[in-house]
Structure 1
Amino acid sequence: MTPPGKMKDRIMKVFKKLNLKMIFAPSIVAAIGGFAIGVIPPIRKVFIEDGAPLRVINDTDSLLGGGAIPTVTLIIGGNLLKGLRGSGIQTSLIIGIIIVRYVALPLAGVLIVKGVMKLGLVHSDPLYVFVLLFQYALPPVVNIATITQLFGAGEKECSVIMLWTYVLASVALTFWSAFFMWFVS
């Protein structure tokens, strides 16, 4: 057994190595706070329910949240515009990412979903299975671009990758939608 002093030193070393600013980013703190407000009944009564004294905060959140989708659309547009300028990424790297994203990942998704269905962890509702499978074929999310912008690393590369994955998304999503519809029927 380790003496308490050594254990404390080890824990302090771990906390010093962790970047707590990154771990407790505003979005994560907001998600944890929102979860707590929604799950804990006394807090829920104060913020969310009809006639709650602090319901104005919930209404304000809803109003601000309504602007999130147009904002994300602008961010995608800005990133795709940066991707048009290029960044010196090798073409083979882009092709490799696209193959993994639109071929290997959906095929892995089929195996994973089929496996969890055989184990009985997922019921076989066709719409539910289709949505599970479809998640594997979607293009990369905007959060990746936001993170690269936040840390200032790989912005141009991320923009080029997003550009080409979104350009090919219509073809890939059409194919995989048809395949997944066949698979669940």
Structure 2
Amino acid sequence: MWALLSRNEAQPPLNPDLSFLAISFLTLEAVLEVVIICFAGFMAAKTKLLSTAGQKVISQLNVDLFTPCLVFTKLAPSLSLNKMVDIIIIPIFYAVTTLASLVCSRVMSNFMSLNNAESDYVTAMAVFGNSNSLPVSLTMSLAYTLPDLLWDQIEDDDSDKVASRGILYLLIFQQLGQILRWSWGYNKLLRKRSPEELSGYQLETEAEISVGSDDVESSRASSSSRQANDSEEENDSLLTNRKQPIVETITAEQSVLSQIWYSKPVQGFLSFMNPPLYAMLISIVVASVPAFQKEFFYNDSFIQNTLTKSIDQLGSVSIPLILIVLGSNLYPSADIPAPSRNYKKIVFASLVSRMILPSFVLLPLIAICVKYVNISILDDPIFLIVAFVLTVSPPAIQLSQITQLNGIYQKEMAGVLFWGYVILTLPTTIFIVVTSLEVLKWAT
């Protein structure tokens, strides 16, 4: 899909009056791109080529290696200090859409009487929409097909530039989503939970009681061992005192460094970070220093021809692997824990909170802003298309990685992705593209 960016000649819109059937066909093509790769993963699981253990290994490898490479190669060359100022509206738009989805998810969770863990899962499904595979494919197709997407503020604007701007907007939205997904989503909403948390109640089990008795026994054993070692410690202290002046300075330095390293702010930051977030941080640093950015991406340098190309090759593996694992998750496996008792409620609440309810708030708001607020990129036609598509996009595919790594709600994840991508995506996307074209006519 990214190869479309490398077209050498600008292509004018193919159909000045795009029919409803043509829009439907374009949407179908974009959806089928995802479905076909997922089907390959489904068949790999069905034929026992890819086991549940293998899926977890692939997911972990993707999170720790391939996804960070993808983030770096897509974000670092696309940003600059000037562009960061121009696209300030995107973080604001992301915050508004996230807040709307969060409120919708909490309303649906309360309506469905879900417990805290289930409510957090529904919230994750609602706030983390797909801004990668499906929206990218659809945006690329529409940029070269729909009429009236040229921006009058860009000199000699053409379909290639329209597509590049659409991809840039999506990239920024993706990275904002990645930051929140791998921090708040990974560490809070979809974190590992005990069976008691998942079922919604806490019980004092025999295991907890036995832990208490074990603590008593261990304390007795430790006190007796301390008495036995007292004499040895007295002898060792004589030798230690002789060496103390020699190592006193080193010990003091190590103590200071140790205090800094184990301080709450540092440990909190380290626990918050993960490989994709480190990649985003490095990308922002490279993008903020023009000399670094040119050396990595534009000067045909040794670094670009070796390190950058290697990272790019690794990053290109990420999305196909995500889709393969997604497809394999759709195959019923005995290794995956059974669904929760509120399976249907969770799936229904997730889809409504993600793909339906937020649109009633966000679509009119976006249309009004595009019509009356002429700042930043709001009057760029492709931004309207991207904003509308993102509003009703299904849950992010990468959420299947997180649920698999943390071992929670894997059956529910498969249900959400099946209904979201196979059933709902086609009609909702057709509706949203047609609506965006009508709003574009009204706004201009």
**Contact between 1:82 and 1:159, CA under 8 Å: does it hold in 2?**
no
Question: Which residue identity lines up with residue 356 of structure 2 in the other structure?
Answer: V
Paired with 2:297 and 2:385, the residues of 1 have a C-alpha distance of 33
Question: Cα distance 1:45–1:170, how it changes in 2: closer, same or farther (>3 A)?
Answer: closer
Once residues 367 and 322 of structure 2 are traced to their aligned partners in structure 1, the CA distance between those partners, rounded to angstroms, is 33
2:427 maps to amino acid: V
Give the match for residue 14 of structure 2.
none
Runs of 4 or more consecutive aligned structure 1 residues displaced over 6 Å after TM superposition: none
In the alignment, the residues of structure 2 paired with residue 43 and residue 19 of structure 1 have an alpha-carbon distance, to the nearest angstrom, of: 26
1:91 and 2:339 matched: no
Q: How many residues align?
A: 174
Please report how far the alpha carbon of residue 176 of structure 1 lies from its aligned counterpart in structure 2 after TM superposition: 2.3
Max Rg structure: 2
* TM-score, structure 2 normalization: 0.35
Distance 2:294 2:427 in 1: 48
Are residues 1:142 and 2:424 paired? no
**Are residues 82 and 101 of structure 1, via their aligned partners in 2, closer, same or farther at CA, if it must alter by over 3 Å?**
farther
**Separation in structure 2 between the aligned mates of residue 82 and residue 152 of structure 1, nearest angstrom:** 15
Aligned residues of 1:145 and 1:158 also touching (Cα < 8 A): yes
Please say if 1:78 is aligned against 2:332: no
Give the Å deviation of 1:108: 2.2
- TM-score w.r.t. the length of structure 1 is 0.76
Q: Distance in 2 between matches of 1:95 and 1:132?
A: 24
Deviations 1:48-95 (A, max 9, x none): 333423221001111222222321221221233359x97244423322
Secondary structure of residue in 2 paired with 1:168:
helix
What is the letter of the counterpart of residue 38 of structure 1?
A
8 A contact 2:347–2:412 mirrored in 1: no
Paired with 1:19 and 1:159, the residues of 2 have a C-alpha distance of 32
Structure 1: give runs of 5+ residues left out of the alignment: 1-11
Gaps of 5+ in 2: 1-262
The residue aligned with 1:178 is: 434
Alignment of structure 1 residues 25-40 onto 2, 5 Å? 25-40=274-289
Residue 63 (str. 1) matches residue 328 (str. 2): no
Aligned counterpart, 1:105:
358
Aligned mate of 2:297, from 37, 48, 57: 48
Summarize the Cα distance change of 1:81–1:182 in structure 2 as closer, same or farther, 3 Å threshold: farther
Cα pair 1:102 1:137 within 8 Å, conserved: yes
Query: Are the aligned partners of 2:395 and 2:420 in contact in 1 as well (CA < 8 Å)?
Result: yes
SS at match of 1:54: helix
Contact 2:385 2:436 in 1 (8 A): yes
Partners in 2 of 1:82 and 1:157 — Cα distance? 12
The alignment-based identity, stated in percent, is 18
